[in-house]
Structure 1
Amino acid sequence: MRSALAALLAIVGFCGLAPAEAQPAPEPISGQEIAQVFSQESLNGHVLRIEAALARSQAAEGVIPRDAADAITRAAVPASVPPDELAAEYEIVRHRMVALLNVLSRAMDEEDAAWLHYGATTVDIYDTALMLQLRDAVLYLIEDLRTLELQLVALAELHRATPMIGRTLGQHALPITFGKKLSVWIGENRRHIDRLDDLLERIERSAILKGAVGSYLGLGPEAIAVERRFAGELGLAAPYEDDWHAARDVIAEYALVCGLIARSWGRFGQEVFLLQSTDIGEIAERRPASAVDSSAMPHKSNPFLSEALIHGGRVIPRQAETVADDVVNFFERDNTSRPNALIETLSIETEAQLRNASQLIDRLEIYPERMRANLDRTNGWILAQRVVFALAGHMGRPEAEHRMRDLADDARLSGASLADSLAADPQISALLSQDERAQLLDPTTYIGLAAEQTDAVIAAALAARARDRLP
């Protein structure tokens, strides 16, 4: 095991990977980028780009005149669709696509305007616009997760060998290191980046130009070629051949990945919430000096960011499930779910979750001395396993386990320490000298490969950064 970890580190070193401290400092997560991605201004901009791309693609395949496509491209800019004119037109026609097309048509000759939106349907335009929004949102989420990755790496490197108690089922189990604990989130966070990267491929194949019922009716015999060009004009990949208007699986996948990300960081918040509790006290969430934590108890320093992460980890997955309900459509499509507003909400809240996580990591105070003290809370009994292995060579493992279990049962009633119990047992004290027992009962030397494991997780995460997609 140790050699395998060393081999991984050697490979990373051979590849010239810089240590974490040499990585550029991450930019703070502002939480505003994704709100802009889903703004009405951004949506209208995408629709204009899509109409221009449609016209150019149709002209390239001989469907509409080249001059008309050029005129549409020149006109399809935000200045041609002032928000007040668009709002006034919508009040008349009560249809967002028709309102935009009517206002845009006024910015070009009537002859050219006749070729605008030729053969297309509203759902093609707005579903493609949604894919452009999701692509941008995913890239920003990847950037945010990369910021968190560097924050975790820096903290894990600092505490790669800081001993603390590992807890299973709420009880003291065996020693670990704080770096090892952090490495779990580094690995989990990296898998979220990989998930989003995989999802990007499906989003970028989801431009769609298949007409009202998804069979290219109204788009002419060159429709499939036009659709391929259309996707390329928008910087997207060759589109899926199927009509996915009623199969909203890619949109659902995006929402569910956001829910999974929120859950992971909700668990991080919960861990901090528990570890900062008075009875454990191994870490703390540093609060701004001016912050008031309790109106009634001046001594309190409440973990507000931890609470916010726990809350986000509960709410965002519920929103994701609602978006996923849109997978169940009627026939070729319907609009009963109307998930777009919720997609915007959960996207913004997912980035807020990551911003809260970033701020929390920045504000963490780590107390190694309390971690060390907590290792002794069970009077040494967390090292019973280590003693079993030491005795196994003398009496066999089954007998050693049986003997230690009996001693532990007695100690629960008497309160005896492991050291005293071993010294009082004639057979064990004869097999293990006082010096041997003292060495066995030092918890700081019984952390397994936790430090090396932390190094390997960090190395793997940093090596993976080279292949990440960025905005």
Structure 2
Amino acid sequence: MGIGALNSAIYKRGYTTPRMEDVWSEGSLVGAIFDVEAGLAKAQADLGILPEAAAQMIREAAVPSDDLIADVSRGKVGNPLVAVLDALRARVPDDARRWVHYGATTQDILDTARALQIQRSATILLDELDELISAVAQLAETHAETLMVARTNGQHALPTTLGMRFARWLAELRRDRERLVQMRPRTEIIQFSGAAGTYASLGDDGPRTAQVLAEQLGLTYEPLPWHAAGDIMAEVACTTAIYAQSLGKIAEDLFAMQRTDIGEAHESMDAHSSGSSTMPQKLNPFTTMKASVSARLVAGMASTVLTQAPAADERDHRQSEVQRDLIPQIFVATEGASAKLLGLLGRLHFDRDALRANLDQEGVLLMTEGIMMALAPRLGQEGAHDLLQAFAQEHRATGVGLEEFLAERPEVLDKIEGIDITALSQPENYTGLSARLSREAAGPVR
């Protein structure tokens, strides 16, 4: 029985997708191991190290099946590869059996198989990220001029546009994409250097085999062992976790926008995903909640990968076991969040009336920066700031209007004659470059 949010058959539906789960399933792990073993046999046959006929037999046998997975499950547990090799050797004719796993060590195969799983996972993440970028770009273009209030430190700050919020997401997602692409040559990397990383079992044939095998598998060739290195899996964990935090930020923004007292966005009603068991009216933003929780889980798991004790000497299975547990979950949780948010964006409704009502909630107080900037050339920056700060305090206490407040200060009125306070009090006149930046960020929208 699965345990926890990412593994329980009941709970994981809110956090994971079958697509990414399949990459890290037991069947896919065995398949990746077989890809490496079959590739190894072919590479060594191409180099004349073992007979071509034997390599062909190994490749033909190295095909996952339900029966084979069952055999693996019944095998030894101390070394996870031994059970796979036992099942594979049992399916290879006697004259080829001695060439299975020739010159390799367990961790070579497991690390390279995991590199294939990382490669497939990164491809899925990037495919979905491209879709997410496209969807957010469309929103940035559509809402380039949709007015809303910007909030800083939980308080109303200045007028902005909804498109500007999407543009900020967009810039962050594009940086995430760049990081994910850049990590791939450093993390989708072959490991094949023998039991202690010295190529003792194959000698000069070892690096040659590793290079050909890397080319066959589409992985980066690295001649030096990295079993005990901390940087490669740490980069996988942290780069993916950074992307998860971007997804968490989007989720948090959308969660807040759906608060009853804000009401700027609404998910479509789904009794099974957003409803309450006892309150029929509820529209719970569960999609954003799950994405936010996923980001938190990923951050914690990446922290564990990053802060565990360094591996001892040339290899340390304690490090490997932690990575074997957490790297799959990091990918699964991150991809689940991206898939959920991608689906959510297509069914979200943004309420322009609510956006405008929230924008107008503080009235002229929201516009004091813009008014201050207009008055500053006449009164000085400090003088204009102090004047409008005094107005804000009095307005909150008594409700006095700005014109009335200024009328009581004839010495100020003389200096600001000709400045249109009414125009400066309109939010649509003080959105800065929001609309332009939104459209520039969106670029050519598909």
TM-score (norm 1): 0.84
Counterpart AA for 2:338: L
Q: Tell me, what secondary structure is at the counterpart of 2:263?
A: coil
Verify the 8 A CA contact 2:187 2:235 in the aligned structure 1. Answer: no
Corresponding residue of 2:3: none
Whether 1:442 aligns to 2:404 is no
**1:263 counterpart (227, 236, 245):** 245
Show CA shifts across 1:20-43 (max 9, x none).
xxxxxxxxx992221111111111
Verify the 8 A CA contact 1:258 1:347 in the aligned structure 2. Answer: yes
- Residues 135-150 of structure 1: pairs in structure 2 closer than 5 A: 135-150=119-134
Residues in 2 aligned to 1:459 and 1:261: alpha-carbon distance in whole angstroms: 22
- Aligned residue pairs total 430
Corresponding residue of 1:181: 165
Whether 1:294 aligns to 2:276 is yes
Residues in 2 aligned to 1:210 and 1:429: alpha-carbon distance in whole angstroms: 82
Q: Tell me, what secondary structure is at the counterpart of 2:363?
A: coil
Verify the 8 A CA contact 1:175 1:444 in the aligned structure 2. Answer: yes
Show CA shifts across 1:136-159 (max 9, x none).
001101111122212212222111
Counterpart AA for 2:41: A
Corresponding residue of 2:5: none
Whether 1:330 aligns to 2:312 is yes
- Residues 67-466 of structure 1: pairs in structure 2 closer than 5 A: 67-78=53-64, 82-88=68-74, 90=75, 95-204=79-188, 206-237=189-220, 239-288=221-270, 293-325=275-307, 328-337=310-319, 338=321, 339-432=323-416, 436-459=420-443
Q: Tell me, what secondary structure is at the counterpart of 1:380?
A: helix
- Once the two structures are TM-superposed, the CA of residue 319 in structure 1 deviates from its matched residue by 1.7
Show CA shifts across 1:222-271 (max 9, x none).
2111111111111223x223210001422222122222222222222222
Name the stretch that deviates more: 154-163 or 320-329.
320-329
Verify the 8 A CA contact 1:161 1:178 in the aligned structure 2. Answer: yes
Residues in 2 aligned to 1:283 and 1:37: alpha-carbon distance in whole angstroms: 34
Corresponding residue of 2:12: none
Residues in 2 aligned to 1:420 and 1:145: alpha-carbon distance in whole angstroms: 53
- Once the two structures are TM-superposed, the CA of residue 64 in structure 1 deviates from its matched residue by 2.2
Question: Closer, same or farther in 2 for the Cα pair 1:277/1:73, shift >3 Å?
Answer: closer
Residues in 1 aligned to 2:103 and 2:230: alpha-carbon distance in whole angstroms: 23
Percent sequence identity is: 33
Counterpart AA for 1:335: H
Counterpart AA for 1:308: K
Residues in 1 aligned to 2:50 and 2:273: alpha-carbon distance in whole angstroms: 64
Q: Tell me, what secondary structure is at the counterpart of 1:82?
A: helix
Verify the 8 A CA contact 1:379 1:417 in the aligned structure 2. Answer: no
Name the stretch that deviates more: 43-52 or 135-144.
43-52
Question: Closer, same or farther in 2 for the Cα pair 1:327/1:224, shift >3 Å?
Answer: farther
Verify the 8 A CA contact 1:180 1:453 in the aligned structure 2. Answer: yes
Show CA shifts across 1:124-179 (max 9, x none).
00100000000100110111112221221222211111111111111111111010
Structure 1: 5+ residue stretches without partners: 1-28, 464-471
Question: Closer, same or farther in 2 for the Cα pair 1:87/1:408, shift >3 Å?
Answer: closer
Verify the 8 A CA contact 1:165 1:375 in the aligned structure 2. Answer: yes
Residues in 2 aligned to 1:128 and 1:212: alpha-carbon distance in whole angstroms: 14
Structure 2: 5+ residue stretches without partners: 1-14
Alignment RMSD (CA, Å): 2.6
Residues in 2 aligned to 1:63 and 1:326: alpha-carbon distance in whole angstroms: 40
Verify the 8 A CA contact 1:249 1:327 in the aligned structure 2. Answer: no
Show CA shifts across 1:271-308 (max 9, x none).
22222223322222332267673344444322222222
- Once the two structures are TM-superposed, the CA of residue 182 in structure 1 deviates from its matched residue by 1.2
Residues in 1 aligned to 2:116 and 2:415: alpha-carbon distance in whole angstroms: 71
Residues in 2 aligned to 1:231 and 1:152: alpha-carbon distance in whole angstroms: 37
Verify the 8 A CA contact 1:80 1:107 in the aligned structure 2. Answer: no
Residues in 2 aligned to 1:354 and 1:152: alpha-carbon distance in whole angstroms: 12
- Residues 56-71 of structure 1: pairs in structure 2 closer than 5 A: 56-71=42-57
Residues in 1 aligned to 2:304 and 2:16: alpha-carbon distance in whole angstroms: 27
- Once the two structures are TM-superposed, the CA of residue 452 in structure 1 deviates from its matched residue by 0.7
Residues in 1 aligned to 2:273 and 2:103: alpha-carbon distance in whole angstroms: 59
Verify the 8 A CA contact 1:159 1:177 in the aligned structure 2. Answer: yes
Counterpart AA for 2:356: R
Q: Tell me, what secondary structure is at the counterpart of 1:236?
A: coil
Corresponding residue of 1:20: none
Residues in 1 aligned to 2:67 and 2:206: alpha-carbon distance in whole angstroms: 28
Residues in 1 aligned to 2:64 and 2:41: alpha-carbon distance in whole angstroms: 17
Counterpart AA for 1:61: L
Q: Tell me, what secondary structure is at the counterpart of 1:336?
A: helix
Corresponding residue of 2:29: 43
Question: Closer, same or farther in 2 for the Cα pair 1:265/1:86, shift >3 Å?
Answer: closer
**1:32 counterpart (12, 18, 23):** 18
- Once the two structures are TM-superposed, the CA of residue 432 in structure 1 deviates from its matched residue by 4.7
Residues in 1 aligned to 2:318 and 2:44: alpha-carbon distance in whole angstroms: 32
Counterpart AA for 1:51: E
Verify the 8 A CA contact 2:16 2:337 in the aligned structure 1. Answer: no
Q: Tell me, what secondary structure is at the counterpart of 1:219?
A: coil
Q: Tell me, what secondary structure is at the counterpart of 2:431?
A: coil
Q: Tell me, what secondary structure is at the counterpart of 1:216?
A: coil
Verify the 8 A CA contact 2:16 2:332 in the aligned structure 1. Answer: no
Whether 1:52 aligns to 2:66 is no
Name the stretch that deviates more: 43-52 or 405-414.
405-414
TM-score (norm 2): 0.88
